[in-house]
Amino acid sequence: MKKLTLLMLLAALGLSACQQKETNPLLAEWNTPFGIPPFEQIKLEHYMPAIEEGMRQQKAEIDAIVNNPDAPTFANTIEAYDAAGALLSRIMPIFSGISGANTTPEMQVIERELSPKMTAHNDDIRLNEGLFQRIKTVYEQREELTLDAVQMRLLEEMYKGFERSGANLSPEQKEELRRLNTEISKLQTQFGQNMLAETAAYTLLIDNEADLAGLPEALRAAAAARAAKVGHEGKWLFGLDNPSIMPFLQYTDNRELRRQMLDAYLNRCNNNNDNDSKEVVHQIVNLRLEKAKLMGFINFAEMTLENRMAKTPTNVYDLLDKLWTPTMKVANREAAELQKMMNDTKVAGKLEASDWRYYSEKVKGAKYAINEEMLSPYFKHENVRDGIFYVCNRLYGITFTQVNVSVPTDETVAYECKDADGTHLGILYMDMFSRPGAKRGGAWCGRYRSQTYENGKRVAPLVTIVCNFTRPVGDKPALFSPDEVGTFFHEFGHALHGLLSDTRYNGLSVPRDFVELPSQIMEHWSFEPEVLNQYAKHYETGEIIPQELVDKFDKAEKFGEGFRTAEYLAASYLDMDYHVLTAIPGNLNLAQFEIDVLNNKRGLTTQIPPRYRSTYFNHTMGGGYTAGYYSYIWAGVLDCDAYNAFVEAGDIFDKTVATKFRKEILERGGDEDAMQMYLNFRGKAPMIEPLLDNRGLR
Ligand SMILES: [Zn+2]
């Protein structure tokens, strides 16, 4: 079939650019309530022409900045650049929002076609010499200009952003940088593809039902369905994907099979076959180091961390080291309990890595006798939602009211968020249930429009929460698991960060290791008795969840925290250790490197493998979380310490603390250095003790 290009499509439809303006809803004025995009009018064929028009306008706006005969000033260069691309910023969130939540094969075609165009468009801007020279001129005069703190930060961040993209390099160096970027990007993709292929390549087919002993019925059924799908009716198939292997390791009585599965899992992309990634990793760390040196840094971690809250590798190691000792103490205590359970059940030998999850379930079962199904009836979707609204109202005085406006997907519900005095703050969309094939996995919070300022007036944001929660079946309402409740609160925290935002400029973003503070702190309220009393009501009887059940669940959850934190910290060390190297040995042996830095240097027991080993550590080798895997626990320290401010005030809804959190953090985006914003809120640096208490690590 001949590939239909968008130009052909447009030609076939007989549309010229100016006709589009009338017929393309993405380019038209939106005379709608709250300026919401008319989602129902937006058709597939509207995207590409509108996006291209957006790019064209942004390019024209940038050309106008570059060709301005006046000398560069903060207003005609910095502010003008920050405001450029308004049309594209209006269209792109709609396209990516729908792509994530409700995609189609046709939409994926546009996505693939768009991706290289967008990269080239952004490269053209980042490498625009004339633009950079004007920004640099203003930057060099910054001390003489009368800028306020936010303006100064915008200028500095903008300049550094260009610098990080290589704007200050010589033409030869720029060429070299482009080469390195391309190579690294290719290898990262290769790494991810190897991992996908290798994870899918190994399967365990069981034909003897006795080998399933210990496995719950639902998991057996899933494994039987999986086997039948590939022509093995009447057998059971397991794989290395987490939803399959993790419960297998938790429940299967057959020790030898657990060993086999974990061994295959730990050796992914380490089997000297086509999917082997040892050499890929070697090259990736090599090229990243070369890039860092080209940019004037001694190693890759120094370069990456420069614009994070952590700032330096030393700060990251300080935190990891402080957590390591108490974590290992608890992990070793857990190991002793598991070993005892093994001995008590007359299993000979020493606890192995493949035994850990299995005996952990056994100990939890014996000690706490609780499972998630006992809690779900108290977590009806609507009740949990109202519980979150209640928390937000008590903290910030804000309200949420359902409104009948245009929505991005059929299943989305819209709410208007208003301030205590009735001022409109923004719109919140919620799209809660899974739609396999159309919605990507996981849960996230996105924007259909970010908060901005136009002619001195706040433009309210359109924020969305998208989840893959359990759908209601028949007339039974959707009942969430405790994990889903936590996720709902979490995403709502991100949503508040968006809805309450009140920032002047578009170019100041929140660093990765700070962005999870507003979301993770919200989780703390979800299981507070005062909050549970409001929302956790049995969906049939209306009875409030018994506190005893909650306490039991809480204790059971904490068991295993030593293991979970240890495997996480081990992976965080590994990620950092590769990227602080200032020379990469030609014969770098990844397995030996892991043993050296984890077991030999830090005393990790072999009973706990790192959460990811080098050949399948996609967070770091695939990019995205390179020298950044620590971020989760970094934010964990912040949210536990920040929540403690409420606890210390003696009221989890303390108005003074809440108002400070809103004013100093939620409203301010990236307006100030993240640590400074934290200090403004808390009055002192974050401490790790609240996190240790929260995880039961003290
Ligand atoms: Zn998050």
Other CB atoms within a 10 A radius of the CB of residue 365 amount to 13
**330 Cα: distance to centroid of ligand 1 (angstroms):** 27
**494 Cα: distance to centroid of ligand 1 (angstroms):** 7
Q: What confidence tier does 20 reach under pLDDT thresholds 50, 70, 90? A: low
Cα separation, 535 vs 74, in Å, equals 51
Neighbours of ion ligand 1 (CB under 5 A): 519
**263 Cα: distance to centroid of ligand 1 (angstroms):** 31
Give the count of alpha carbons within 13 A of 304, CB side only.
26
**27 Cα: distance to centroid of ligand 1 (angstroms):** 32
From the candidates 491, 516, 561, 594, which is the catalytic residue? Answer: 491
**445 Cα: distance to centroid of ligand 1 (angstroms):** 8
Of all residues in the chain, the percent with pLDDT exceeding 90 is 80
Can you name the CATH fold of 376-542? Neurolysin; domain 3 (1.10.1370)
**208 Cα: distance to centroid of ligand 1 (angstroms):** 42
Mean per-residue pLDDT over the chain, rounded: 93
pLDDT at 118: 87
Q: What confidence tier does 21 reach under pLDDT thresholds 50, 70, 90? A: low
CB 137 within 8 Å of CB 72: yes
**279 Cα: distance to centroid of ligand 1 (angstroms):** 33
pLDDT at 574: 98
**107 Cα: distance to centroid of ligand 1 (angstroms):** 26
Enumerate long-range contacts of 303-309, CB under 8 Å, 24 or more apart.
303/164, 304/579, 304/626, 304/627, 304/628, 305/627, 307/157, 307/160, 307/164, 307/511, 308/511, 308/512, 308/513, 308/628, 308/631, 309/511, 309/513, 309/514, 309/634, 309/674, 309/675
The domain defined by 278-374+560-629 carries CATH number 1.10.1370.10: yes
pLDDT at 3: 40
Q: What is the DSSP letter of 71?
A: P
**Pair of tokens at residue 341:** 């359970």
Q: At residue 369, what are phi and psi to the nearest 5 degrees?
A: 45, 60
Task: Answer yes or no: pTM beyond 0.85.
Answer: yes
**H runs (alpha helix) in 447-504:** 482-499
Tallying the residues shown for the chain, one arrives at 698
**628 Cα: distance to centroid of ligand 1 (angstroms):** 15
Segment 491-501, tens digit of pLDDT: 999 999 999 99
Cα separation, 232 vs 373, in Å, equals 31
In the block, residue with structure tokens 């957006």:
54
Per DSSP, the residues of 392-420 read HHHHH--EEEEE----SSTT-EEEEEE-T
CA-based radius of gyration for the chain: 27
> Which of 26-35, 234-243, 316-325 has the weakest average pLDDT?
234-243
CB 652 within 8 Å of CB 390: no
Question: Coil, strand or helix: which one is 332?
Answer: helix
CB 417 within 8 Å of CB 396: no
**516 Cα: distance to centroid of ligand 1 (angstroms):** 5
Of all residues in the chain, the percent with pLDDT exceeding 70 is 97
**493 Cα: distance to centroid of ligand 1 (angstroms):** 8
Cα separation, 507 vs 125, in Å, equals 14
**Pair of tokens at residue 597:** 């830095």
Distance of CA 73 to the CA centre of its chain: 37
Sign of CA dihedral 131, 134, 140, 146: negative
**537 Cα: distance to centroid of ligand 1 (angstroms):** 26
Q: Is 616 exposed, middle or buried (0-12, 13-18, 19+ CB in 10 A)?
A: buried
**499 Cα: distance to centroid of ligand 1 (angstroms):** 15
578 closest CA partner among 286, 183, 278, 177: 286
The domain defined by 6-168 carries CATH number 1.10.1370.40: yes
Question: Which residue has better confidence, 468 or 314?
Answer: 314
Cα separation, 663 vs 682, in Å, equals 12
* Whether 491 is catalytic: yes
Q: At residue 606, what are phi and psi to the nearest 5 degrees?
A: -70, -10
Cα separation, 101 vs 302, in Å, equals 36
Segment 639-698, tens digit of pLDDT: 999 999 999 999 999 999 999 999 999 999 999 999 999 999 999 999 999 999 999 988
- 376-542 shares the fold of 278-374+560-629: yes
Domain boundaries, the chain: 6-168, 202-266, 278-374+560-629, 376-542
Per DSSP, the residues of 214-229 read T--HHHHHHHHHHHHH
Question: Coil, strand or helix: which one is 87?
Answer: helix
Cα separation, 163 vs 160, in Å, equals 5
**337 Cα: distance to centroid of ligand 1 (angstroms):** 33
